Amino acid sequence: MTVSPPSTASTASTGPSAGLAAPPSEPSAPSSEPSAPSSEPSAPSCEPSAPRAGTAAPTGRPDIVDLYLKHIGSGRAVMGRVMGGMAEVRSEGVWIHADDGRRFLDFGGYGVFIMGHRHPAVVEAVHRQIDTHPLASRVLLEPVAARAAQALAAHTPPGLDYVHFVNSGAEATEAALKLARAHGLTSVITTRSGFHGKTLGALSVTANTTYQTPFQPLLPDVTQVAYDDPADLEQALAAHRDRACVIVEPVQGEGGVRIPRPGYLGQVRALCRTYGALLVVDEIQTGMGRLGTWWGVDAEDVRPDVLLVGKGLSGGVVPVAAMVATAEAYAPFSRDPYLHTSTFGASPIACAAALATVRAMEEEDTVARAAALGPRILTAVRDVCAPYQGGLVREVRGRGLLIGIEFAEEQAVGELMLELISRGVLVNNSLNSTRVLRLTPPAVVEDSALDLFLTTLGAALRGTADRMTG
Ligand SMILES: Cc1ncc(COP(=O)(O)O)c(C=O)c1O
């Protein structure tokens, strides 16, 4: 199977008994797999109890599946059921708990949980904000937004001092595209396999026809160039001199953890200068320490005009994202505070989360931790995958805590995800690269949980190889 949502609702009508993990009431079979570390919270781990999701007995939560079917959507309902039908209700650190007592080691989360789930300092700050002033009038000044902007700008590349807070990554992309328009830059150059969100503007620069086609026409004058190919970019820039905005990721996350050659970002920067283009670097997935540096651009000492931030900025607690820009780039938004607004943008509660996250990262040296942990995990994952290298597995690559396992066949991604879920580990597929499974572990993961992950990955790979060959 692939992990994309089913395209029709027909399977939903078979009811939640079709192809599901064990019901919560069914005791798990004993297994030789390691159990969760004893220092962790007492909830029983799901490894290795559940039969493989998607193949075994009826689901744990048919009632929730049914509500999804009736009120959220059949595709999501069927997908949840295929994944085992579990309902997640609690989280802390690297763990997500289901309502049947199983728990899952979260090495996915679409890259959000660099600080784990519900970082205590962020939770405390958000509680305090709720008890005082969660949402603002938007007429008076908001001190939390001002302090959060200051804290974030203290870590962005020099000169990127102006922060426009929003509630999602796609909104940060929208803000950047509109900022470019405000400068009269009406063309956008994006990269193949690039991912920048799914709102209409962001979707126009997210290079995936599956998501784009149903919504055409999108923004006009968008050019896709090859990633990691300065010559292709130069050709596009030459055709759009003084009227383009370039949007690029330091490492393509949804594009399958594609790491460009050293020097690429620097070349992009130089080309944008030469051809009068605004450079927007999308660090929504790669920023906040994910690559072992605060930002992917730090590795090459590149200063974009605009930097997009999201995911990790939440501290795993409150959705918040931001567009950060130089004074020159930001000038149109600076002059007119009503040019691009949103009722809930820069809310005190979201900014309290962002502020507490940045401070916690400083105190815990999260970036250094990610830098040290990333290569260790990458090496260990490579070792676990080594027996399958050249067969099932094509390549294991990564930077910091963004790691991709590329398979020879697309089917392996879905199979391995299900094998991992049934053993209590959550990971992600890659939306723009269907043969790549993505790992985005938190920087707070301890050795015991890491060992558990690696042992589980080994067992899941064996299960996947057996299924695909047998
Ligand atoms: C690089 C990048 N940009 C933008 C987005 C969109 O962010 P959101 O899903 O918060 O809208 C994502 C989400 O995965 C992303 O990885």
CATH number at residue 24: 3.90.1150.10
What pLDDT, on the 0 to 100 scale, is given for residue 159? 98
Q: Final residue of a domain: which of 364, 387, 413?
A: 364
What pLDDT, on the 0 to 100 scale, is given for residue 52? 55
- Tell the residue nearest (CA) to atom 7 of ligand 1: 169
Length of the chain: 470
DSSP state of 38: T
- Tell the residue nearest (CA) to atom 16 of ligand 1: 285
**Are residues 102 and 131 both part of a single domain?**
no
Residues with CB under 6 A from ligand 1: 110, 168-170, 173, 195-197, 249, 253-254, 282, 284-285, 310
In ligand 1, the atom with minimum distance to the C-alpha of 431 is: 14
In ligand 1, the atom with minimum distance to the C-alpha of 286 is: 1
Distance 231 CA to ligand 1 centre (A): 26
- Which residues neighbour 312 within 8 Å (Cβ) at sequence distance 6 or greater? 111, 112, 113, 114, 115, 287, 288, 289, 290, 357
In ligand 1, the atom with minimum distance to the C-alpha of 170 is: 11
Distance 229 CA to ligand 1 centre (A): 22
- Tell the residue nearest (CA) to atom 8 of ligand 1: 169
**Are residues 134 and 176 both part of a single domain?**
yes
CB 469 within 8 A of CB 434: no
Q: Final residue of a domain: which of 340, 364, 388?
A: 364
CA distances from 338 to 153, 174, 182, 241, 332 (A): 22, 15, 13, 29, 10
**Are residues 130 and 80 both part of a single domain?**
no
Q: What is the dihedral of CA 400, 302, 262, 108, to 10 degrees?
A: 30
What pLDDT, on the 0 to 100 scale, is given for residue 38? 29
DSSP state of 35: P
What pLDDT, on the 0 to 100 scale, is given for residue 108? 97
CB 54 within 8 A of CB 118: no
Q: Final residue of a domain: which of 334, 364, 394?
A: 364
**Are residues 351 and 378 both part of a single domain?**
no
- Tell the residue nearest (CA) to atom 2 of ligand 1: 196
**What is the domain count for the chain?**
2
Q: How far apart are CA 404 and CA 285, in angstroms?
A: 14
Task: With 0.95 as the threshold, say if the pTM is over it.
Answer: no
Q: With respect to residue 8, please indicate whether it lies within any of the assigned structural domains.
A: no
**Are residues 248 and 381 both part of a single domain?**
no
**Are residues 270 and 292 both part of a single domain?**
yes
The pair of three-digit structure tokens given for residue 296, joined into one six-digit string = 């992917």
Distance 412 CA to ligand 1 centre (A): 24
**Are residues 158 and 297 both part of a single domain?**
yes
For a pocket test of ligand 1, which of 167, 177, 196, 252 has the largest count of ligand atoms closer than 8 A to its C-beta? 196
Q: With respect to residue 1, please indicate whether it lies within any of the assigned structural domains.
A: no
For a pocket test of ligand 1, which of 208, 311, 436, 438 has the largest count of ligand atoms closer than 8 A to its C-beta? 311
**Are residues 299 and 416 both part of a single domain?**
no
Q: What is the mean pLDDT of each run of 10 residues along the chain (470 residues)?
A: 34 27 29 30 35 47 92 94 91 96 96 98 98 97 98 98 98 98 98 98 97 98 98 98 98 98 98 98 98 97 98 98 98 97 97 98 98 98 97 98 98 97 97 97 97 98 92
**Are residues 195 and 262 both part of a single domain?**
yes
Q: What is the dihedral of CA 166, 171, 175, 178, to 10 degrees?
A: -150
Residue 392, domain extent: 18-106+367-469
Under DSSP, is residue 28 helix (H, G, I), strand (E, B) or coil?
coil
Cis status of the peptide bond prior to 48, with omega within 30 of 0:
yes
What pLDDT, on the 0 to 100 scale, is given for residue 61? 85
Q: With respect to residue 463, please indicate whether it lies within any of the assigned structural domains.
A: yes
What pLDDT, on the 0 to 100 scale, is given for residue 13? 29
Q: With respect to residue 3, please indicate whether it lies within any of the assigned structural domains.
A: no
Q: How far from chain centre, in Å, is Cα 13?
A: 32
Q: How far apart are CA 245 and CA 251, in angstroms?
A: 19
**Are residues 162 and 265 both part of a single domain?**
yes
Which has the closest alpha carbon to 29: 11, 46, 12? Answer: 46
